[in-house]
Structure 1
């Protein structure tokens, strides 16, 4: 990867390096490939093993998981969101407390181990727990990049990460980060306005429902890939933990990239950062 001239981007060398890492996290190797490497089998082939009712089960479990996560986020709106670290979500604390990715990985691996022996049957019980743990990790990463998690918009940005992780379908359609983010931007803006004005009472508001539907559609595709990886006969606790670890790592990397980009946009402006981001893409090898 060639360096991007400072005069072209306006970003410092350090921030350009940060942007290059964010680009790599956001645009490379979708979840399908990571899971295939972890279980040693093509996910496309494993998808065909899922029973006919699997997609309905996955869609319902995904929606319930996201809904419980949203309820947890809204219930504490206006206060720092606890992430398991000792830091606060207030601006200025980010530089002093790194996110504890490993702690959340251990927790999610535990849920994977518990559900590994039951496959699809365990999904309705396991997915809400796993998703909530991943959301806490995403919030922890957002805080470390300077997001104020007392604000509704910041928490919805954390929730939106579930709709940004790359899947096999993104490879087919060449759906990049800014395209996926742009598809969510207006819905996030309207939903955050409703949350800011109505608080908990906004939970069923139309703008929030539309946002949840958009996120759920994309997240469900990736949950399907995760479930397919767990469809190997006698997967057991060990491989169940491995699959869940890959799953959370995928969204942690997406969160690191997303909130690093947002931090740079606050510093340099969206246009400058997007221009530099495109330059990173055009000079990658």
Structure 2
């Protein structure tokens, strides 16, 4: 019996599909941006940020993240019934205001603000799913949001982790939202822990809290557009998602090789 790993994927011959995949690849590689570079300088490294957290916070972070995810779905879905979806900038500014309030309060304020940030991020993702013609109330979309949250995060050192999740997304079958939350929470807690440590720096306070949340929401919005872009493309073309993901992976590799070559040439000149 042929396994998924041995499955021969059909070739993608439509140039329009390749163009759309290339656009998604460029969106993926540009998801971090200058804001994430700034955060990396603030914390020196992701591991360094985590070590800044007090021990009692590190121990509770997984539970806080699990609580935030459980609350976020009902809060985000409920708010969409009463308030229409807004654009990217509105969501980024709303999250920035939340981050500023949390950053001004140090660790205590940042921890209280964490579930609010997760809810705002999730609402932004659901709005992007609706933009792509998908049902934001469906289990399919909710599960995909959790997979996006399970990405390594904007401050991770290993860029392959995000795409690794995207590449194997179809291997996670039969999962309920609650079941996937249990798997996602430990991964998301690392990303949120990095945010929490940088945000709660006493010298930097509210300004960095707002900047961090702005960078985070931008990152997850871009990741959502990649994930939901692949889902929409599969529905519109009938091409298996595995084949689209493989084409996306190759396109990302080409872009990264070109960027590496440019940096090498620039440093040599």
Q: Please give the TM-score of this superposition, normalised by the length of structure 2.
A: 0.77
1:37 aligns with 2:24: no
1:36-81 deviations in whole A, cap 9, x for unaligned? Answer: 51474213434332222221232222111101013346x76xxx95
CA distance in 2, matches of 1:35, 1:52: 25
CA distance in 2, matches of 1:182, 1:158: 15
Mark the CA change 1:257 to 1:84 in structure 2 (over 3 Å): closer, same or farther.
farther
What SS does the corresponding residue of 2:136 show, helix, strand or coil? coil
CA distance in 1, matches of 2:83, 2:102: 23
Alignment correspondent of 1:223:
192
- Which one of 25, 28, 31 corresponds to residue 26 of structure 1? 28
Maintained 8 Å contact 1:165/1:251: no
Mark the CA change 1:234 to 1:188 in structure 2 (over 3 Å): closer, same or farther.
farther
Uncovered stretches (5+) of structure 1, i.e. residues with no partner: 1-7, 87-98, 192-207
CA distance in 2, matches of 1:37, 1:83: 36
Matches within 5 A, 1:109-258: 109-166=96-153, 171=158, 174-177=160-163, 179-181=164-166, 184-185=169-170, 187=172, 189-191=174-176, 208-258=177-227
Alignment correspondent of 1:100:
87
**Aligned residues, how many?**
243
Q: CA deviation at 1:124?
A: 3.6
CA distance in 2, matches of 1:240, 1:150: 30
Mark the CA change 1:40 to 1:146 in structure 2 (over 3 Å): closer, same or farther.
same
CA distance in 1, matches of 2:48, 2:157: 18
Name which of structure 1's ranges 36-45 and 126-135 shifts more when overlaid on structure 2: 36-45
Provide the alpha-carbon RMSD of the alignment: 3.1
CA distance in 2, matches of 1:189, 1:27: 30
Mark the CA change 1:21 to 1:84 in structure 2 (over 3 Å): closer, same or farther.
farther
Uncovered stretches (5+) of structure 2, i.e. residues with no partner: 1-10, 259-269
Q: CA deviation at 1:213?
A: 1.1
Mark the CA change 1:106 to 1:57 in structure 2 (over 3 Å): closer, same or farther.
same
